[in-house]
Structure 1
Amino acid sequence: MKLIVLDRDGVINEDSDAYVKTLEEWIPIPGSLQAIARLSQAGWTVAVATNQSGLARGMFDASTLDDMHFKMQQLVMEQGGRIDLIVHCPHGPDAGCECRKPKPGLFRTIAEHFGLADLKGVPVVGDSHRDLHAGLMLGGTPYLVRTGKGLRTLEGTLPSGTQVFDDLAAVVDHLLEKSR
């Protein structure tokens, strides 16, 4: 199985320091939905792992989050692709949970869902240190995008082996070229 794990905000859709709280605020990054569709069409399994502390903060409810994810899935389907699994952490940063990135709980859930012992070599695409570190804990290969908080993340020290790309479409171009 060719599996990839994507962060959501800042990778697939525009991010906001004020949080993405409504369906109208969920705006895809140009080329991201088509990139996911190209992965699907090439036989990749696509999973999304996203921290959604806006739930714990009362900024939106579970129904609104479901609507955002439904919109994302519908738009990817309109491009001829699919998202195979979406997992999210609903907790705030002080909850002490195991699912909030940079902890590996969401990635463990993805591995278990697909019957994998770990995510060794699986591309993990994010725009922040916490995305990359969470994936690394289960053996994932880190890919940083410059969209979202990516440029800010570049100012720090990246995990060893991190590959940096302009956006998700550029990551997908690289992966599809590499797998030919």
Structure 2
Amino acid sequence: MKLLILDRDGVINQDSDDYIKSLEEWLPLPGAIDAMAALSKAGWTIAVATNQSGLARGYFNQATLDAMHAELQRLVQAQGGRVDAIHFCPHGPEDDCTCRKPLPGMIEAIGRQFNADLTGVWLVGDSLRDLEAGLAVGCQPVLVKTGKGLRSLAKPLPEGTLVFDDLAAVAQQLLTGKPD
């Protein structure tokens, strides 16, 4: 199985330090939807793992989050692809959970869902906590420069981290073996 795990905010859609609180604020990044659809059509299993502490903080409700994820699914399907799984952590940073990145709970759940060995699976994120969650279970860390990626790039990254401009560049590499 060709499995790809993606963070959401800053990788697939625009991010905000003030949180993405509504469907109107959920705006796909240029090329991201096309990249996901192309990968899906090429046989990749696409899973999303996203911290959504805005739920715990009361910034939005479950119905709003569901609407954002339904829109993501709709847009990818309109391009002929699909998102195979969306896992989210609804907890705040002070909650005692194992799913909030940088902990690997969501990534492990994706591995169980697809009965997949996560060793070497590309985990694409825009923050160090994304990369750390993947590393904890043997994933290949991949940083994109979108979202908080440039800020993250200014910090020491885990050894072996691959860096791409955006999700479209990641897809280009996975689909052709060549950077764009």
**Both structures adopt the same fold (TM-score exceeding 0.5):** yes
CA distance in 1, matches of 2:71, 2:176: 29
1:14 Cα deviation from its structure 2 partner: 0.1
Question: How many pairs were matched up?
Answer: 178
Instruction: Say yes or no: does 1:106 pair with 2:106.
Output: yes
1:129-158 alpha-carbon deviations (Å, 9 max, x no partner): 000010111110011000000000001000
Letter in 2 for 1:18: D
Identity of aligned residues (%): 62
CA distance in 2, matches of 1:115, 1:12: 25
Letter in 2 for 1:97: C
1:175 Cα deviation from its structure 2 partner: 1.0
Q: Secondary structure at the match of 1:30?
A: coil
Please tell me the root mean square deviation across aligned C-alpha atoms, in Å.
Answer: 0.9
Letter in 1 for 2:108: R
Alignment gaps of 5+ in structure 2:
none
Which 4+ stretches in 1 moved above 2 angstroms? none
1:10-36 alpha-carbon deviations (Å, 9 max, x no partner): 000000000000000000000000000
1:35-65 alpha-carbon deviations (Å, 9 max, x no partner): 0001001100000000000000000000100
Letter in 1 for 2:162: Q
* Structure 1 segment 116-127 matched on structure 2, within 5 A: 116=116, 118-127=117-126
1:115 Cα deviation from its structure 2 partner: 1.1
1:49-96 alpha-carbon deviations (Å, 9 max, x no partner): 000000000000001000000000000111111000000000000102
Q: What is aligned with 2:66?
A: 66
Q: Secondary structure at the match of 2:57?
A: coil
1:152-179 alpha-carbon deviations (Å, 9 max, x no partner): 0001000111010000000110111129
